[in-house]
Amino acid sequence: MRPTSMLTLLFIAASVIAGVSSAVVPSKSPRWEYNFQSPQAATNPTVYFDVALVPTNTTLHAFNVVTGAVLWTFEYPNGDLGGYAAASAELVTVGTLNNLYGLSWNGTLLWAFGAPAGTRPTPLNHFRPTFGADGIYVTTGYTPLIKLSKSTGVAIWTASTSQGVAQLHATEYGSSVYVTTFVGTVGYGVSYSAATGLFKWNITVPGLLNIIVAPAVGLLFTAGGTATVGTITAYTLGGDATVEQYQLNYAGLPLVDYYIFNTTLYINTAATLAVYPTAVIQYDAATGVAQWTLPKVPFLFFVPCSKGLINYEPTQVVAYDKLGNAKWRYPAVATNDGAVSENDIVVTITSTSVIALDF
């Protein structure tokens, strides 16, 4: 659709915003650490209030995020491989290569859902769950979007194949659910009816990586581009159509790593076709105005929180405050992923352990 207004900010060699110093302050001591008995390939942690859910390749672990106590574990049946977890007040779910499992809050299996037979892409995708008001949305990477009953795990609806296969996580907002889909190599940001799964509208995005729904600013964001220029586009969120509001273009390889925290947008940019070196830029999400940048930051991925952001580097984890100033570092190698609790406890995953740090 044609934009009614567009703000285009182009970063070619350096940001128009002066770079913030990335000097690192002294090391941080962990709040607690849990060591796996053997390498577990732990990834994709999530925190629900005071519970940290950490999927490994064999088992879902639930920890008290404050104390580090192991609350319970759930071993995937039949050698299934995890996974992505999500939680609500009613239950916990974990997606594996072949199923989505619904668990009670004590780790007891309630139900299992296996998607219809299909041809999986390479590499294999895990099932990814997201909770909505009255159901659970599941993407498999090889089927359209599916909505399940929370209580039984039975499919309520499956979206039409006309919009292709659903990827990454879906997001419910109002009466709609939004998700990234692909028909062949063409990517779309798609809106479906949350109640019925009927198609509402889509956005075609060249080189689409993923979409983010940001209710705090009333916008939907898409990330895409070419091999040399990344593009973040903001659209009006809601209704039966969407209107482009502004666009951010930057030189470098488009990456999937961009995040919204409340009204703040964070973008990771690759200066060349290689992932290193890179920069992190903070924007006002409502307007697209850049606020500060961290230039040449060694980067694996980052996680924003209420106090700033956590950057995961090849040899350490570094915390930055809201102004982009480095606060502390924690030496760590082989960090796989991370998450932050509502009280700003940073959960960091390595190949051998789970580490909690106070921001």
Query: Which strands form 219-225's sheet, in the order they lie side by side?
Result: 8-11, 244-251, 229-236, 219-225, 210-214
Taking alpha carbons only, the member of 325, 326, 313 closest to residue 338 is 313
Torsion-angle region of residue 78: left (phi > 0), alpha (psi -120 to 50) or beta?
left
Are 50 and 67 within 8 A, CB to CB?
A: no
Q: Which pLDDT does position 271 carry in this prediction? A: 54
Q: Which pLDDT does position 205 carry in this prediction? A: 85
Q: Scanning the structure block, which residue is given the tokens 């499956």?
A: 158
Taking alpha carbons only, the member of 241, 283, 174 closest to residue 4 is 241
Domains defined along the chain, listed by start: 32-257+335-358 (2.130.10.10)
Please say whether the dihedral angle defined by the alpha carbons of residues 196, 188, 259 and 54, taken in this order, is positive or negative. Answer: positive
Structure tokens at 297: 């930051």
0.75 surpassed by pTM: yes
**Amino acid letter for position 83:** G
pLDDT by position in tens, the chain (length 359): 333 333 334 333 333 344 454 454 778 999 999 998 765 667 789 999 999 999 988 899 999 999 999 999 999 998 777 789 999 999 999 998 889 999 999 999 999 998 776 666 555 678 999 999 999 999 988 889 999 999 999 999 999 989 988 988 899 999 999 999 988 888 899 999 999 999 999 998 888 888 999 999 999 999 988 877 889 999 998 777 788 999 998 877 776 678 899 999 998 876 555 544 578 889 999 999 999 988 877 767 789 999 999 988 888 899 999 999 999 999 987 677 899 999 999 999 887 889 999 99
146 vs 173, 204, 210, 295, CA distance in Å? 16, 21, 18, 40
- The secondary structure of 87-142, three-state, reads ECCCCEEEEECCCEEEECCCCCEEEEECCCCCCCCCCCCCCEEEECCCCEEEECCC
How far apart are the C-alpha atoms of 100 and 83, rounded to whole Å? 9
Greatest Cα pair distance in the chain: 57
How far apart are the C-alpha atoms of 261 and 103, rounded to whole Å? 28
Please say whether the dihedral angle defined by the alpha carbons of residues 284, 287, 292 and 296, taken in this order, is positive or negative. Answer: positive
Q: Which pLDDT does position 256 carry in this prediction? A: 66
Q: Which pLDDT does position 118 carry in this prediction? A: 62
Are 349 and 356 within 8 A, CB to CB?
A: no
How far apart are the C-alpha atoms of 91 and 286, rounded to whole Å? 34
Are 86 and 131 within 8 A, CB to CB?
A: yes
β partners of residue 10: 249
